[in-house]
Amino acid sequence: MAKILLTGGAGYIGSHTYLALVEAGFEVVIFDNFSNAKQDVPARLQDITGGLVHVFEGDVLNPEDMRAVFDAHDFEGVVHFAAKKAVGESVEKPLDYMHTNVGGLLTLLAEMDRADVRRIVFSSSATVYGDTDIQPIPEDHGRTHTSPYAFTKIAGEQILEQLDDRWAVGILRYFNPVGAHRSAMIGEDPADIPNNLVPYIAKVATGELDQLSVFGDDYDTPDGTGVRDYIHVEDLAEGHVLSIKTLIDTGDSHTVNLGTGDGSSVLDVVHAYSKACGADLDYQIAPRRDGDVAVLTARPDRAKALLGFEAKRTLADMCRSSWAWVSGQRRNDKG
Ligand code: WQD
């Protein structure tokens, strides 16, 4: 059974990818420093899979930790999530972001090279496209950073593009991952007030937050609010499985968008979430948020052609799964 190293595997997308990899028959080792993941995630994964979850608590920035995990296991490849991912925070702490996201990748690659493990799936982002009117966005669109976070993703992609033919690289550009696992036992679990739309709406739905601020209703979109390409986190996880499988089976590197190709406005999401939770959600129209663009949607056809990937789940599925997760959490907290 092929063994995969999953850095950041206790995080939101990492934990869902763990389940998808195990379901696809891979053996997986989670490598995480738990700086942005709850300590109980591996136990939850164990409850879901019924199998032992291998966790190596370590930091991708620490060469000794990296050496130890590669000395302990023979990996077929690596799926690399471990990075900081908040755009706003990256503006306040650019050096932190470059150190962790770029330094961490370089430390990982050095150890992979030493261990002769040269297949890597890299977690990138639609943010590499910058602000563009070309929608839906194709992968051959130019890259330009609008934040230090975006810079670190472009830098990561360009580092990987320098590697020689012994390497096989999958670069996956996420659009807007949302939702939770069908078991409702894992999901997005932000530590403080969320920056992103769906986790914020989820906290309004549970009553933890009073009201959603809709950042602008004067964009050139059907209802004036921002349009994004929301993709279910389980679809996204399955995209990672197809990517690592492609690297193992063919050795062919690829750079693909992971999105649905469909756009949903902020108010579309509010209405879908209201249906999912069975209640109206209070919101107010607020000024636009700095750095936001009107529309961001993916050209999804290259992922289909190269990986056989196609997002299957709908916005309703995303909201229903998110509500099942957060409402279950609330019951447990009250429990
Ligand atoms: C979505 C829409 C907001 C919150 C970000 C990162 C991106 C990626 C995904 C890492 C926009 C509106 C939001 C709120 C609102 N992360 N909104 N009220 O900004 O598209 O993408 O997360 O890779 O890099 O930039 O996602 O969920 O923050 O916003 O009206 O309280 O919801 O204006 O139109 P975004 P988002």
- The predicted-structure confidence for 155-189, as pLDDT tens digits, reads as follows 999 999 999 999 999 999 999 999 999 999 999 98
Q: What is the pLDDT of residues 22-34, one digit of tens each?
A: 999 999 999 999 9
pLDDT at position 238 is 98
3-181+229-260+297-312: CATH topology: Rossmann fold (3.40.50)
Q: What is the pLDDT of residues 92-106, one digit of tens each?
A: 999 999 999 999 999
Q: What is the pLDDT of residues 204-222, one digit of tens each?
A: 999 999 999 999 999 999 9
What is the atom index within ligand 1 of the atom nearest the CA of 293?
34
Residue count (the chain)? 335
Ligand 1 binding pocket mutation candidate from 81, 203, 208, 215 (most atoms within 8 A of CB) = 215
- Which amino acids are annotated catalytic? 149
Q: How far apart, in whole angstroms, are the C-alpha atoms of residue 215 and residue 103? A: 34
Determine the distance separating the centroid of ligand 1 and the alpha carbon of 7, expressed in angstroms. Answer: 24
Q: What is the pLDDT of residues 270-303, one digit of tens each?
A: 999 999 999 999 999 999 998 899 999 999 999 9
Determine the distance separating the centroid of ligand 1 and the alpha carbon of 256, expressed in angstroms. Answer: 21
| Domain range annotation of the chain | 3-181+229-260+297-312
Contacts of 162 (CB under 8 A, 6+ apart): none
pLDDT at position 208 is 95
H-helix or E-strand spanning residue 114: helix 104-114
Percent of the chain with pLDDT over 90: 95
**Closest residue by CA, ligand 1 atom 31:** 197
Ligand 1 binding pocket mutation candidate from 127, 132, 176 (most atoms within 8 A of CB) = 176
45 within 8 A of 19, measured Cβ to Cβ = yes
Q: In whole numbers, what is the pLDDT of the chain averaged over residues? A: 96
**Closest residue by CA, ligand 1 atom 1:** 197
pLDDT at position 198 is 98
Please report the beta strands in the chain, taking only residues with DSSP state E, as ranges in sequence order.
Answer: 3-7, 27-32, 54-57, 77-80, 119-125, 168-174, 176-178, 212-215, 227-228, 230-232, 254-258, 264-265, 283-286, 295-296
Distances (CA, A) of 120 to 31, 74, 256, 258: 14, 14, 14, 17
What is the atom index within ligand 1 of the atom nearest the CA of 266?
32
What is the atom index within ligand 1 of the atom nearest the CA of 269?
32
Residues with CB under 6 A from ligand 1: 85, 87, 125, 127, 174, 176, 195-197, 200, 212-215, 226, 228, 266, 289, 292, 296
Determine the distance separating the centroid of ligand 1 and the alpha carbon of 320, expressed in angstroms. Answer: 19
ipTM over 0.90: yes
What are the beta bridge partners of residue 173? 124, 257
CB-neighbour burial class of residue 335 (10 A; exposed 0-12, middle 13-18, buried 19+): exposed
Determine the distance separating the centroid of ligand 1 and the alpha carbon of 87, expressed in angstroms. Answer: 9
Ligand 1 binding pocket mutation candidate from 171, 214, 217, 289 (most atoms within 8 A of CB) = 289
Determine the distance separating the centroid of ligand 1 and the alpha carbon of 293, expressed in angstroms. Answer: 9
